Amino acid sequence: MTTASSSAASRPDPALFDYLLRLGDDSLILAQRLSEWCGHAPMIEVDLSMSNVALDLVGQAMLFLDYAGQVEGKGRDGDKLAFHRDALRFRNCLLVEQPNGDFGQTMARQYLFSTWQRLLFQGLVKSTDAQIAGIAAKALKEIEYHADWSAEWVVRLGDGTPESRERMINGFAWMWRFVDELFQVDEIDAAVAKAGIGPARDSLRSDFDAALKSTFEAATLPLTPLPAAVLGGRKGHHSEHLGHILAEMQHLPRSYPGAVW
């Protein structure tokens, strides 16, 4: 067992590498999805807000993927990991790769992810890994805004017109099946939790459910039982949507190997 940082006495490096990919890939893929709204959002202020959220997520992804490359020790940096892996090697959760749909569906996805991410990063700031703790501390300020901003839109649309309410309900109906994966604990999560690198994902569930209940009450939206969970993203088993995302995102670096800005 080796160490990637002096901040922890010991560390399961293969587990740490995979864990960093999960953190970076979540942010990277959601950023790519949000960027699809640029120039198409319902209002210019919303267009700018979504672009800024996407940029925040790209920043998170760069930091985590660069660190993952350091841990791996094979000369790959964040760019190589972002643009030169195929879908089977991505470790993002299935939620972030789901289609934008309409604005209600996008807000449903953003709210679920950011509410969960806020709880996760509140745990990561206490990480025994100083580099992860530092990234999380910086990113948490951004994530607090993402979570509050998306919650405000859920309330605004849910408690708005009959059409906005229906779109919000339909948006969540698409996303519900991907929620349980956020809290699934496998051998990677167990290893990093044991080392104090990150919180146990299942420990976040009660606070997530409480936040969800509060927001839905304010939005006068019905909370329905979750459908059967769809899993697999953390193991590289993705929906067809990720392949389309990567085809666009990776087009330039794959078409022009070695190109730099």
Can you give the CATH number for the domain in which 126 is found? 1.20.1260.10
- Measured between alpha carbons, how far is 62 from 39 in angstroms, rounded to an integer? 24
Q: What residues make up the domain containing 195? A: 13-255
pLDDT computed for residue 2 by the predictor? 41
Residue 207 lies in a domain: yes
Residue 168 lies in a domain: yes
What is the tally of structural domains in the chain?
Answer: 1
- Measured between alpha carbons, how far is 77 from 87 in angstroms, rounded to an integer? 18
Gyration radius of the chain over CA positions: 18
Residue 103 lies in a domain: yes
Residue 22 lies in a domain: yes
Residue 2 lies in a domain: no
Give me the average pLDDT of each 10-residue run along the chain (261 residues): 42 85 98 92 85 97 97 95 96 98 97 98 98 98 97 98 98 98 97 96 98 98 95 96 94 80 57
pLDDT computed for residue 260 by the predictor? 65
pLDDT computed for residue 252 by the predictor? 87
pTM attached to this predicted model:
0.93
pLDDT computed for residue 261 by the predictor? 57
What CA dihedral angle connects 134, 140, 142 and 144, to 10 degrees?
-170
Residue 261 lies in a domain: no
pLDDT computed for residue 8 by the predictor? 40
pLDDT computed for residue 51 by the predictor? 94
DSSP collapsed to 3 states, the chain: CCCCCCCCCCCCHHHHHHHHHHHHHHHHHHHHHHHCCCCCCCCHHHHHHHHHHHHHHHHHHHHHHHHHHHHHCCCCCHHHHHHCCCHHHCCCCHHHHCCCCCHHHHHHHHHHHHHHHHHHHHHHCCCCCHHHHHHHHHHHHHHHHHHHHHHHHHHHHHCCCHHHHHHHHHHHHHHHHHCHHHHCCCHHHHHHHHCCCCCCHHHHHHHHHHHHHHHHHHCCCCCCCCCCCCCCHHHCCCCHHHHHHHHHHCHHHHHCCCCCC
Residue 5 lies in a domain: no
Residue 8 lies in a domain: no
